[in-house]
């Protein structure tokens, strides 16, 4: 039977504090639509040794709400980073990683190297020695994998650029640590020999992981799937991740390298979606523990004593890194808005900065007081990273909005009008542009308009239901108007209004289903295209082609079936003649 001391052990107390903090932070911050990243850091500050821990010596009962030994959380924090890199690997593939090689080893290397040298140069001017300045420059040039990839979408231009730079930084972490060890001991030859040994051993381990993963992982997860046991599936996943991390750590590489490789290997199997789903809660909790440890490193008393110097240090690091990243992206052809947003997003230091600072302190490249100062700078930088992401997104949009552009409404001559620049509207615009048919687009969402304009589309902000707006777009001489919005009621009202004002106008509308298409025909649409119908026809086309039916007969039968459905829809809409006969067709209008 467990005694009282076992139930009230420090480990159990710390676990209760962490779980209680997570249970409070996530719902409260979600309620106010604030990222829980900030909440976890603030909780770490509160329950850490520099928060309630200082008051516990005067108010003993507060000890129950503090972490008795912060070092106990370090393994859990490291596990959070390992699971994060594993999840990144799941989202990638070897093909995608190979396609990114230019950005990873080009953009990533330049960003890290130039940022580190500039920061080191500033520190040398302030009186630091060369080795000390280089150590701090390399540490502060790193950006936060844990936070940046949690905030951004790696499928966007900003996310892709950030991912490439972060991947290179993760790869470069081990050479950086070995370099600092060599500089600290003053024995570059010995450090170089250790680095070479680690690299060739690491290469062998990585190769072994790739070969074994290709051979064993499909069989392992297939067997786990046959049991239909979520516990066994989770156990197999953790076995692979932790095993790969330990294998790379055993030869001196970072365990996150092994975690990334494990994710890449599982991404090539048929079970990656289930693995991603089942590990998501653990990744979130482990990452929360990591963020709490960041908050626990904030010493408010020390920050208050050196507030001016810390603010200058934080701002300097942010400005240097943001400027370097933005300049490199612009030089590589990125849009000004993308370069601005990515630069600000990547400006803050990293969780791995703390690792490099600890290494530099251990080999006496920096003294303990300097290490604590720069740890506070790093912790503050990590804390404000969500705010930087918010600022970068808005400044990026403003930069793109201020680019000199020709007013789309100023163009003369007949052209089509595309209403709505979402997914469907963009596709219509692309097809019009491909066939050299002039058009102008309009949308009521300022974010969509800003992004579409930045991508080169002739688009305006406005409400197509206003007659003045349509007049500005040249509705009187428009070749056609295409309504792409996914708003059935609004589309139907707009069709009725357009038909009343412009009887000869070709109106093509997106319909949600066959019933909605019939309503649009009754309202006056020239053509109504149901989404469900087109999806079914495309699916049928793919099946017939895969079954060996020649493409020509397939396309002909698809057109026949489309005409049959259109006739059926018009009959349901109580129309006696084809709408295209009541107005000039799009083909006739655009041919002139």
Looking at the chain, the number of H-run helices and the number of E-run strands are: 30, 6
The secondary structure of 370-416 as a DSSP string is HHHHHHHHHHHHHHTHHHHHHHHHHHHHHHHHTS----GGG--S--E
Find the range with the poorest average confidence among 51-60, 150-159, 561-570: 561-570
Average pLDDT for 183-211: 70
Our CA angle for 309, 315, 316, nearest 5°, is: 85
pLDDT at 26 over 70: no
- Torsion sign over Cα 90, 91, 92, 93: positive
Is the distance from CB of 49 to CB of 68 less than 8 angstroms? no
- Torsion sign over Cα 249, 253, 254, 259: negative
Let me know whether 121 and 238 are in one domain. Answer: yes
Q: What is the mean pLDDT of the chain?
A: 79
Give the model confidence (pLDDT) of 536-552 as tens digits.
Answer: 766 777 777 777 778 77
The reported pLDDT for the residue numbered 9 is 63
Is the distance from CB of 495 to CB of 508 less than 8 angstroms? no
The reported pLDDT for the residue numbered 588 is 39
The reported pLDDT for the residue numbered 535 is 67
As a whole number of angstroms, the distance between CA 254 and CA 206 comes to 12
User: Would 438 be classed as within a structural domain?
Assistant: yes
The reported pLDDT for the residue numbered 412 is 62
User: Would 363 be classed as within a structural domain?
Assistant: yes
Let me know whether 48 and 85 are in one domain. Answer: no
- Which is more confident, 528 or 404? 528
Let me know whether 64 and 151 are in one domain. Answer: no
Residues 6+ apart with CB under 8 A from 384: 348
The reported pLDDT for the residue numbered 138 is 94
> Where does the pLDDT of residue 63 fall: very low under 50, low under 70, confident under 90, or very high at 90 and above?
confident
User: Would 267 be classed as within a structural domain?
Assistant: yes
- Residue 321, φ and ψ in degrees, nearest 5: -70, -40
pLDDT at 573 over 60: no
The reported pLDDT for the residue numbered 592 is 39
Of 243, 224, 223, 244, nearest to 234 by C-alpha is 224
Which 3 state secondary structure label does DSSP give 171? helix
Let me know whether 481 and 363 are in one domain. Answer: no
As a whole number of angstroms, the distance between CA 522 and CA 224 comes to 56
User: Would 407 be classed as within a structural domain?
Assistant: no
Let me know whether 118 and 176 are in one domain. Answer: yes
Give the model confidence (pLDDT) of 508-523 as tens digits.
Answer: 888 887 778 888 888 8
**Domain ranges, residue 535:** 414-591
User: Would 550 be classed as within a structural domain?
Assistant: yes
Give the strands of the sheet with 459-461, arranged side by side: 459-461, 439-443, 416-419, 480-483, 507-511, 527-530
Give the model confidence (pLDDT) of 347-398 as tens digits.
Answer: 999 878 877 887 788 778 888 888 889 988 988 898 888 889 889 988 887 8
Let me know whether 219 and 83 are in one domain. Answer: yes
Residues 6+ apart with CB under 8 A from 343: 321, 322, 323, 324, 325, 326, 329, 392
Let me know whether 53 and 178 are in one domain. Answer: no
Let me know whether 122 and 225 are in one domain. Answer: yes
As a whole number of angstroms, the distance between CA 112 and CA 86 comes to 23
User: Would 293 be classed as within a structural domain?
Assistant: yes
Give the model confidence (pLDDT) of 234-247 as tens digits.
Answer: 888 888 988 998 89
As a whole number of angstroms, the distance between CA 270 and CA 222 comes to 9
Record the tokens describing residue 11, joined without a space.
């480990």
Let me know whether 438 and 291 are in one domain. Answer: no
As a whole number of angstroms, the distance between CA 112 and CA 320 comes to 11
Looking at 399, 433, 455, the residue that finishes a domain is 399
pLDDT at 310 over 90: yes
Q: How many CB atoms neighbour CB 19 within 10 A? A: 13
Give the CATH number of the domain where residue 493 resides: 3.40.50.720
Is the distance from CB of 284 to CB of 25 less than 8 angstroms? no
Give the model confidence (pLDDT) of 480-498 as tens digits.
Answer: 999 988 888 888 889 999 9
pLDDT at 401 over 70: no
Average pLDDT for 158-173: 85
Looking at 33, 51, 68, the residue that finishes a domain is 68
User: Would 405 be classed as within a structural domain?
Assistant: no
Is the distance from CB of 84 to CB of 287 less than 8 angstroms? yes
Looking at 32, 53, 68, the residue that finishes a domain is 68
> Where does the pLDDT of residue 34 fall: very low under 50, low under 70, confident under 90, or very high at 90 and above?
low
Let me know whether 37 and 116 are in one domain. Answer: no
Record the tokens describing residue 472, joined without a space.
């500005």
Backbone dihedral region of 364: left (phi > 0), alpha (psi from -120 to 50 degrees) or beta? left
Give the CATH number of the domain where residue 313 resides: 1.20.1530.20
> Where does the pLDDT of residue 590 fall: very low under 50, low under 70, confident under 90, or very high at 90 and above?
very low
The reported pLDDT for the residue numbered 537 is 66
Of 30, 50, 54, 33, nearest to 42 by C-alpha is 50
User: Would 135 be classed as within a structural domain?
Assistant: yes
Question: How many domains would you assign to the chain?
Answer: 3
Let me know whether 369 and 490 are in one domain. Answer: no
SS3 of 192-243: the string is: HHHHHHHHHHHHHHHHHHHHHHHHHHHHHHHHHHHHCCHHHHHHHHHHHHHH
Matching residue, tokens 């979408």: 153
Find the range with the poorest average confidence among 6-20, 377-391, 419-433, 552-566: 6-20
Average pLDDT for 171-186: 71
The reported pLDDT for the residue numbered 548 is 78
Let me know whether 160 and 231 are in one domain. Answer: yes
Helix (H) or strand (E) holding 481: strand 480-483
């Amino acid at each position: 039977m467990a005694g009282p001391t076992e139930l009230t052990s420090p480990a159990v107390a710390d676990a209760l504090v962490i779980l209680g903090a997570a249970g409070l932070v996530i719902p409260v911050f979600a309620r106010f639509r604030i990222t829980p990243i900030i909440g976890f850091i603030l909780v770490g500050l509160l329950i850490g040794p520099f928060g309630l821990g200082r008051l516990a010596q005067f108010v003993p009962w507060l000890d129950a709400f503090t972490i008795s030994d912060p070092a106990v959380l370090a393994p859990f924090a490291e596990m959070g980073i390992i699971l994060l890199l594993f999840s990144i690997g799941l989202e990638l593939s070897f093909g995608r990683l190979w396609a990114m090689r230019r950005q990873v080893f080009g953009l990533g290397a330049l960003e890290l190297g130039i940022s580190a040298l500039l920061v080191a140069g500033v520190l040398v001017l302030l009186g630091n020695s060369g080795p000390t300045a280089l150590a701090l420059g390399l540490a502060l040039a790193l950006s936060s994998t844990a936070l940046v990839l949690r905030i951004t979408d790696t499928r966007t231009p900003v996310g892709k650029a950030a991912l490439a730079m972060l991947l290179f930084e993760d790869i470069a972490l081990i050479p950086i640590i070995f370099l600092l060890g060599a500089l600290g001991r003053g024995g570059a030859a010995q450090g170089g020999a250790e680095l070479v040994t680690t690299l060739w051993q690491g290469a062998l381990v990585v190769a072994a992981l790739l070969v074994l993963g290709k051979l064993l992982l499909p069989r392992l997860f297939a067997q786990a799937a046959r049991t239909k046991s979520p516990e066994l599936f989770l156990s197999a996943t953790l076995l692979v991740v932790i095993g790969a991390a330990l294998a790379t750590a055993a030869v001196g590489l970072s365990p996150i390298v092994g975690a990334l490789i494990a994710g890449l290997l599982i991404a090539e199997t048929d079970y990656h979606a289930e693995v991603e789903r089942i590990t998501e809660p653990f990744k979130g909790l482990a990452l929360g523990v990591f963020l709490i440890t960041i908050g626990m490193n904030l010493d408010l008393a020390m920050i208050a004593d050196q507030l001016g110097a810390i603010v200058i240090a934080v701002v300097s690091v942010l400005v240097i890194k943001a400027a370097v990243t933005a300049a490199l992206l612009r030089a590589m052809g990125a849009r000004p808005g993308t370069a601005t947003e990515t630069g600000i997003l990547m400006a803050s230091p990293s969780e791995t900065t703390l690792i490099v600072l600890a290494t530099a302190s251990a080999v006496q490249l920096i003294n303990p007081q300097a290490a604590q100062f720069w740890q506070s700078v790093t912790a503050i930088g990590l804390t404000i990273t969500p705010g930087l992401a918010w600022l970068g997104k808005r400044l990026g949009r403003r930069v793109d909005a201020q680019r000199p552009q020709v007013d789309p409404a100023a163009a003369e001559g007949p052209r089509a009008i595309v209403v709505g620049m979402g997914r469907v509207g963009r596709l219509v615009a692309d097809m019009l542009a491909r066939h050299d048919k002039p058009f102008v687009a309009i949308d009521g969402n300022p974010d969509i308009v800003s992004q579409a304009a930045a991508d080169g589309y002739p688009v305006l902000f406005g409400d197509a239901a206003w007659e003045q707006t349509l007049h500005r777009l040249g509705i009187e001489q428009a070749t056609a108007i295409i309504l792409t919005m996914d708003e059935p009621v609004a589309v139907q009202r707009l069709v009725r209004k357009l038909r009343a004002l412009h009887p000869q106008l070709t109106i093509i509308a997106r319909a949600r289903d066959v019933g909605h298409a019939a309503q649009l025909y009754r309202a006056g649409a020239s053509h109504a295209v149901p989404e469900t119908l087109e999806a079914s026809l495309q699916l049928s086309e793919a099946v017939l082609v895969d079954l060996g039916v020649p493409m020509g007969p397939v396309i002909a039968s698809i057109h026949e079936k489309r005409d049959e459905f259109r006739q059926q829809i018009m009959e349901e809409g109580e129309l006696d003649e084809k709408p295209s006969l009541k107005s000039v067709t799009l083909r006739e209008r655009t041919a002139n």
